[in-house]
A and B are shown apart, each in its own frame.
Chain A
Amino acid sequence: MSVSTFEVDVLARCREIVEDPAFTAVRRWKEAHPYQKVVGCYPVYSPIELVHAAGALPVGIIGGGNQVEIAHADARFQSFICSIVKSTLELGLTGRLDLLDGIFFHSICDPARNLAAVFARNFPNLRVEYIHYPQNLASPTAVTYFRAELERIRAALAEITGRSIADEALHDSIVLYNRWRTRIRHLYELRQAAPEKLPAAEAYTLLRAGTLMPVEEHLPLLEAALRKIPGRTAKRQDRIRVVVEGAFCEQPPVDLIAAIEQAGCYLLDDDLLLGWRWFTGDVPEDGDPLEALATSYIDRSVYCGTKHDTRAPKAAHLVQRVRALGADAVLFLCAKFCEPALFDYALYRRALEEAGIPHLFLEFEEKMWIFDRARGEVETFVESMLFG
């Protein structure tokens, strides 16, 4: 593979930003913009356009990865609770989230719900907002309800930033984020067309860095990547093509993603950082912008372990995605103790078996350091598919 300055500079910088539990990049931004606020977004999805329109910086607070040692938080959350809940609390208890002016949690699962309350008690100076996402997407009233919920968040953001959010500002943010999401979609398309040119770990790092910097800065990085990557010379190898499912909240270490790929897979698609590429199409740029966000959640969002839509079963979505991408298999990459992901697995497994699509189930923890076992399991699986 040819190494250009893009690889050396941009990717190295992104990786540094992503693996820095002190949030130095965000801190620098805050120093440079002393009058602007920072709002943390716990997975999965947050209305980042609203935060942006408020003149604040939306920042992904997505656990501590394998850079944070849990010393205090496991006295608060038991051993059978997923790692991201504990590491996020640990970030807070060790002062590393003191750069936040507010934080959003959501109705994704019971541990996250309780984490919101524990945050509110332990960090009384932090504005903690719990967003309830509609769970009856078939109801005609879901849009009205969710618009009202977003209106409430708009008011909360106005209190955090001390300035109200005009519809025009929100409209502009929507337009900007539509552009950003289009680039991200292109990045995935590129990977699907030529996975040898864009390893999943690189795409992931690039995307994750975007959760820690202003969209205005991240857009040019994405655009540069989209220009450079097609020109890379890399040989396609004999690997199976897989879809990764189950890692929508807690994130696997970047090196695990790389190890899985090197063990003989091309990861055509995944549900990593799903909340930052939540919409399947553009958010409407005309009409009431709040309503546009609300309808987009209901009608134009990805299926996900934390979203329950009685209109179309999740498992059908997954089978369809595998078929559409021409993938060979599904790799379940579930965070240990992640109840929604573990539940989904039972449904998905059944549907995949019916559809004759092979799959491999792997559990991970964000704090993993050694990937030999995972690599071994993937290798065995790949061999069974290639030569079995």
Chain B
Amino acid sequence: MAADPKTSYQGRIHLLQKELMGRYYQELTAAARDGSPPAAYMLISGNPVELVRAFGMLPVYPEVNALQIAVKKQALPYILKAEELGYSVDNCAYVKADIGLYFSGRQAPFGTIPEPALILCNYVGCNVYLNWFEHLREYARAEVFFLDIPFVRDPMAPRPEDLAYVVAQLRELISVCERITGRPLDWEYLRHICALSAKTGQLWAQIKHLTKHVPCPLDAYFDAVTLMGPLYCLRGSEEGLRFFEEAYREVKERTELGLGPLPEERYRFVIEGPPPWPYLRVFRDLFSRWGAVAVASTYSTVGGLWEFGFAHDPDHPLESIAQHMLYWNLTNRDLLRRYQQIRRYVQEWGAHALVIHSVKSCRLFSAGQGDMREYFSRELGVPTLLVESDLEDPRYFSEAQMRNRIDAFFEALEHRRLVGAEARP
């Protein structure tokens, strides 16, 4: 093993991302001060930001706020505040950080979060979403809309009834937004936004496919998260699109130059589960020291599965927004479809191993990961490592334990390599 390399985010995109997200939070802070534009609280998974943007509303994502607090290692006081209010140690820490933030005058370390004009629960992700927004609704007393997205039950596609149901609800939502903003929906503008989203999604998908290259030009977990902020917060805007054009150029260039995030790529792995935000750097370095790069991740598909062929359709805006929510994202699909997705990553992205980051806070991701492990290691013969911590709560991260497990795993891989027993599924 080489001396521990310290990784860092590389390139222009990281700086650009920082700048864009900084500006986004300035907008939020201004909206909190001026009371305008009206803020819509929404959730990440399969969000219909195109529609919200078409009304000139400001999308606010409690999940993004929660993770930013975690990245800044400032989550604990907010979490404890929520626990004082009666939330359990076992509840999702994103929610607790957000509720703690709400009751701290919405003052985050990076800006002020405006009060919502609309609490829009897009139930694409976990069931916790419903609880979360139910609670916000009681605290904030704003207009509320629970956009119900049926979980995909049929093996291949959403049912026509499901699509009709979601489109009908989107129409109801349009009336609500018209009432809040006092202006009718400009369909042309919505189509324009969908076209921007389509292009943005395509570029993101292309970047995801570039990570098939050896060496992998961009860590599809630790670096991909850099791109996820703009993908949600700025999708459907001109500056969001420009960011992705720039990002694509940069990753493409790195691919052509044969550059990867590490000096030497020794192992390629697929990773499942959300990142441990408070210890992202530490966690990353535990892999870097083994020359291990994430070539694909399930987490980077929580907002959408553009890489498998989805694009918004400007000619059918509502239908395509509905399709995105119903089908083209990880979280509205069942666990077995997630297995298939990972399997595809392992095969097509040429990975040596699967790493499962089991997150206590997030049962949508974690519940049943033991079965996933069983499937990959026993049935498919893919070396699989399961480590546990949390995505927000620093109390659940033990670096020493993590390091032991990761080292033991890579030592075993190293051994397999030496004896020539390396398996490729």
Q: Once the chains bind, are A122 and B371 in contact (CB under 8 Å)?
A: yes
Quick one: which of B218-240 are within 8 Å of A by CB? none
Q: Once the chains bind, are B148 and A78 in contact (CB under 8 Å)?
A: no
Cβ contact of A121, chosen from B85, B90, B336, cutoff 8 A: B336
B82-116 contact mask (Cβ, 8 Å, vs A): 1 or 0: 10011110111001000000000000000000000
A135 CA / B88 CA spacing, docked (Å): 24
- Stretch from A3-11, A199-207, A338-346 forming part of the interface with B: A338-346
Residue A132 interfacial (CB < 8 Å): yes
A314 CA / B151 CA spacing, docked (Å): 24
Q: Once the chains bind, are B169 and A136 in contact (CB under 8 Å)?
A: yes
Cβ contact of B127, chosen from A81, A108, A116, cutoff 8 A: A108
Min CB distance A19 to B, Å, is 27
A139 CA / B164 CA spacing, docked (Å): 13
A132 CA / B154 CA spacing, docked (Å): 12
A80 CA / B412 CA spacing, docked (Å): 28
Q: Please count the residue pairs between chain A and chain B whose beta carbons lie under 8 angstroms apart in the complex.
A: 167
Residue B401 interfacial (CB < 8 Å): no
Residue A320 interfacial (CB < 8 Å): no
> Inside 8 A of A142's CB, which chain B residues have their CB?
148
Residue B425 interfacial (CB < 8 Å): no
Quick one: which of A70-91 are within 8 Å of B by CB? 74-78, 80-81, 85
Tell whether A343 pairs with B135 under 8 Å between CB atoms, given A110-B127, A132-B153: yes
> Inside 8 A of A115's CB, which chain B residues have their CB?
367-368
Classify chain B's interface size: 35 or more
A342 CA / B87 CA spacing, docked (Å): 7
Residue B26 interfacial (CB < 8 Å): no
- Stretch from A144-152, A174-182, A247-255 forming part of the interface with B: A144-152
> Inside 8 A of A313's CB, which chain B residues have their CB?
134, 137-138
Residue A371 interfacial (CB < 8 Å): no
Q: Once the chains bind, are A78 and B367 in contact (CB under 8 Å)?
A: yes
Cβ contact of B363, chosen from A111, A120, A121, A145, cutoff 8 A: A111
Residue B5 interfacial (CB < 8 Å): no
> Inside 8 A of A380's CB, which chain B residues have their CB?
none
> Inside 8 A of A152's CB, which chain B residues have their CB?
153, 159
Q: Of A78, A107, A110, A130, which is in contact with the most chain B CB atoms at under 10 Å from its CB?
A: A110
Residue B71 interfacial (CB < 8 Å): no
Min CB distance B255 to A, Å, is 35
> Inside 8 A of B334's CB, which chain A residues have their CB?
113-114, 116-117, 120, 130
> Inside 8 A of A306's CB, which chain B residues have their CB?
127
Min CB distance A240 to B, Å, is 22
Q: Once the chains bind, are A135 and B128 in contact (CB under 8 Å)?
A: no
Residue B366 interfacial (CB < 8 Å): yes
A170 CA / B47 CA spacing, docked (Å): 39
Residues of B at the A interface (CB closer than 8 Å) are: 82, 85-88, 90-92, 95, 123, 126-128, 130-132, 134-135, 137-138, 144-148, 150-151, 153, 159, 161-162, 164-165, 168-169, 172, 334-336, 339, 358, 360, 363-364, 366-371, 374-375, 388
Q: Can you show 14 pairs from A to B with CB atoms below 8 A apart? A: A76-B371, A85-B367, A111-B367, A113-B151, A116-B334, A118-B335, A132-B151, A135-B146, A136-B147, A141-B172, A306-B127, A339-B131, A342-B91, A346-B135
